[in-house]
Structure 1
Amino acid sequence: MKKLRNMGVIAASTAALLTLAACSGTGTPSDGSTPRGGAESAIVKADIAKLAQYSNAKPSVDVVALNKKPPAGKTMDIINCAVPVCALYTKDAQQAAAALGWKTKVVTTQFTPESYTATWTSVVQDKPDVVFAAAVLPSALVKSQVDALHSAGAIVLTYAGDAPAGAGTPYTYSKANSAEQSQQGMVQGLIAVADAKAGPNVMFLAVPDTPSAAPTGAALKKVVEAAGGTFNSLNVNTADIGTKAPAEVVSFLQAHPAVKYVALPWDDWISGLPGALKSAGLSSIKVIGTAANATSEKDLQTGLIYRSIVHPTGQNAWFMIDAAVRQMVGDKVGDPNPAGPVSVVEPNNISAIGDASQWPHLDSLFKKAWRVG
């Protein structure tokens, strides 16, 4: 089974949906930038040191060879979602399937219960061998569909979901899971603490309609408050990326002038935000992203994003398919809910990271391990 040799270094990283009002905060309102005691100052120093563990731009990755070549001719339905990060997963899933000689069908869900359940129902009707899914809404909505697929013998792979995979579940493997999302939120918190050199005042864009955002926010909150800072959250809807959301962020910041950092649940949320902040005279706000992509790397170079975190969408997709082929040939799948790796993206390491959407680019390793190239 595959193993990530760097995980001991890099991974030093759904809870219930955030039950918050349209905007709410936790912690005592203050400037959030001054530690409240010596013990907290020690925590800040420890956080700054811990952040250095997440600066490896080129993690070492090993994909263990299969005991035999996997079967060709399988069918795989890919459930895509209507935001760019899902398209990255879909692209690599298609490439991995093509390397195996599998046929793929892509269906795209919107961020509504009606669309989500209808999409999964259509997949059940297709009777695929494998399902590769953006699990972007609560798993309870599609429990009957997932159970039906599992009963029919389909291998179900998910990312960004709230349901763990493994023994006793209908899911074989998950990525961008709660553990991985928590890891990214934790690193976002470390970034804010290290920059403030104290307990920071942070606002997180909570997205109740997407389960994967909740673990990110919870981990961020834990780090910020442990350092003596203040955590705030603003509920936004995925459908409002680049439209209503930037104005909602500005309104929140104007009502909470002590906030100095805005943390994104993933970098697609940068759409329209820098312009809105500039127009409102809030250009000093530092935006901390995650799930960096090629577009957000450019925004980071120009200062629109202060820091981001790269998690390997491409690598995740290939490892998801890898879990399916291992199950098919009788090899051990290993940890069905692995976290990481992640790395902090900043202006001076963008060239080393390369295309964040393909970081690190590993298709040749998988093809060799699968005996297909």
Structure 2
Amino acid sequence: MKKLLTVVLLLMATAITGCGTDKNATPQAGSGSTDNGVAEAKAFLSDYLKPPTSVGVTQPLSEKPPTEQTVVGLEGPFGTSKVVAAGWKAATEALGWTYKGIDIGTDPEGIQKAFSSALSLNPAPDAIIAAGSPKSSFSAQLAEAKSRGIAVISNSTLDEAGTGDGLTATVGGAPDSELAGKILAAEVVADSDANAHVALFTLPAYPVLGGFTDSFQANLSAWCPNCSVTVVEQQATDIGTKTPSSVVSTFQADQELDYAVFALGDMTIGVSPALKASGLADRVKILGQLASAPNIASVAAGTEYAWTAFPAPSFGWTSVDAIARHSVGDDPKVDTDAVYATMLLTKDSVADLAQDTDGNFIGVVDYEDQWKKLWLIDQ
């Protein structure tokens, strides 16, 4: 059985490493009536109902990056991870660079093995991108990369760069996850009229997802003190196998629950059919962060309720932007501070999404041109 942790929602703002932007600030709990909470949630949501117009970074490089760089991407096991990795490849090719991907799989030691493989390449890479795994899980490899002058970019973690351990830059950390948590908390409060009971499914092996779960709970509590959350922990290997039955059993065990929130879009594989087969489809609303192409299609079809849109292809370009800045001596902190382009995806807004031919949300239609302009390409 999965560990069920019923959370009494009296949390304050999260204290995750790398605090979020002002937009992520948690409203003060208990400051008004339920009606005020609903009104405040709706007001917050108004900024995220229309498609974004920027990739999130606007500062050009100080000069064109060098040619003949080699980048290795340590690619995660999920569908969304593969789309991000495709963005790494496309971005490096736009710069005339060489890209090599190495799969890390779901083995806990996979990141170490993949990183070691990258370090063994001849010629050695100029930069390595690691996604989702905290730097503590590859500390020995990171130290070797530092000693050899190889840049290391980490995305989708809570780690910090500039601490002397060899991490060159981080992208897609706490601010993005916290913002997604706040957007979805606002949607649940508004949709339920401040009367929601939520089961939140997450993957504790990926600490950055904790930023989302903490933010969701804190903001839901602030806007809706009477709402409740039950956190249900999953493993990466449960996705598409044990997770669907875990969702069903969670809702069968607690008849008050009415929202299923997921910390990662790929976690919903097989969930809708399982709910339908159990007679729960009409009762349970599915929503979450980091929507994949199947999640977007499911919202359009009405089988899933709402997601925060994740521009996976463009997000991949953000890591390469950090490498490009490092290569010319610019500070890649602009990528660390940037919050990726997002919006609330519902059946009402899905038609407005900018998508690629595979159905992935790309943020803005001209995202590639926006990045190339920052890199001084064709100038």
The interval holding the TM-score normalised by the smaller chain is 0.7 to 0.9
**Counterpart Cα distance in 1 of 2:269 and 2:230:** 21
1:116-131 equivalences in 2 (<5 Å): 116-126=111-121, 127-131=124-128
**Counterpart Cα distance in 2 of 1:328 and 1:115:** 28
Contact map agreement 1:183 1:340 (CA 8 A) in 2: no
Amino acid at match of 1:359: G
Q: 1:281 aligns with which of 276, 279, 286?
A: 279
What corresponds to 1:16 in structure 2? none
Contact map agreement 2:341 2:363 (CA 8 A) in 1: no
2:5 is aligned with 1:24: yes
Q: Compared with structure 1, are the counterparts of its residues 212 and 37 closer, same or farther at alpha carbon in structure 2 (3 Å cutoff)?
A: closer
What corresponds to 2:342 in structure 1? 342
Question: TM-score, with normalisation over the residues of structure 1?
Answer: 0.87
Q: Compared with structure 1, are the counterparts of its residues 168 and 41 closer, same or farther at alpha carbon in structure 2 (3 Å cutoff)?
A: farther
What corresponds to 2:293 in structure 1? 294
What corresponds to 2:188 in structure 1? 192
1:187-226 equivalences in 2 (<5 Å): 187-226=183-222
Deviation at residue 368 of structure 1 after TM alignment: 2.8
* Structure 2 gap segments, 5+ residues each: 10-28
1:335 counterpart SS class: helix
1:113 counterpart SS class: coil
Deviation at residue 336 of structure 1 after TM alignment: 4.8
Deviation at residue 287 of structure 1 after TM alignment: 0.6
What corresponds to 2:369 in structure 1? 364
**Counterpart Cα distance in 2 of 1:146 and 1:368:** 31
2:48 is aligned with 1:50: no
Contact map agreement 1:111 1:209 (CA 8 A) in 2: no
2:152 counterpart SS class: strand
1:165-314 equivalences in 2 (<5 Å): 165-166=161-162, 168-226=164-222, 227-228=224-225, 229-283=227-281, 284-314=283-313
Deviation at residue 157 of structure 1 after TM alignment: 1.3
Report % sequence identity: 23
Q: Compared with structure 1, are the counterparts of its residues 75 and 285 closer, same or farther at alpha carbon in structure 2 (3 Å cutoff)?
A: same
The answer to which of 125-134 and 327-336 deviates more is 327-336
What corresponds to 1:4 in structure 2? none
Contact map agreement 2:53 2:363 (CA 8 A) in 1: no
2:59 counterpart SS class: coil
What corresponds to 2:60 in structure 1? 65
**Counterpart Cα distance in 1 of 2:46 and 2:287:** 16
Deviation at residue 239 of structure 1 after TM alignment: 1.2
What corresponds to 2:23 in structure 1? none
Contact map agreement 2:74 2:130 (CA 8 A) in 1: yes
**Counterpart Cα distance in 2 of 1:199 and 1:164:** 38
Contact map agreement 1:161 1:178 (CA 8 A) in 2: yes
* Structure 1 gap segments, 5+ residues each: 1-19, 29-34
For residues 319-352 of structure 1, give each alpha carbon's deviation from its aligned partner in whole angstroms, at most 9, with x where no partner exists: 2211211121123334352233321011222232
For residues 40-98 of structure 1, give each alpha carbon's deviation from its aligned partner in whole angstroms, at most 9, with x where no partner exists: 43223211211111123132346433332211111111100111011111111101111
**Counterpart Cα distance in 2 of 1:305 and 1:169:** 42
What corresponds to 2:130 in structure 1? 133
**Counterpart Cα distance in 2 of 1:39 and 1:125:** 61
Q: Compared with structure 1, are the counterparts of its residues 56 and 44 closer, same or farther at alpha carbon in structure 2 (3 Å cutoff)?
A: same
Deviation at residue 280 of structure 1 after TM alignment: 1.2
**Counterpart Cα distance in 2 of 1:208 and 1:303:** 29
What corresponds to 1:11 in structure 2? none
For residues 283-303 of structure 1, give each alpha carbon's deviation from its aligned partner in whole angstroms, at most 9, with x where no partner exists: 120011221232211100111
1:233 counterpart SS class: strand
2:145 counterpart SS class: helix
**Counterpart Cα distance in 1 of 2:190 and 2:34:** 13
Deviation at residue 36 of structure 1 after TM alignment: 9.5
Q: Compared with structure 1, are the counterparts of its residues 27 and 66 closer, same or farther at alpha carbon in structure 2 (3 Å cutoff)?
A: closer
**Counterpart Cα distance in 2 of 1:258 and 1:50:** 27
The answer to which of 183-192 and 288-297 deviates more is 288-297
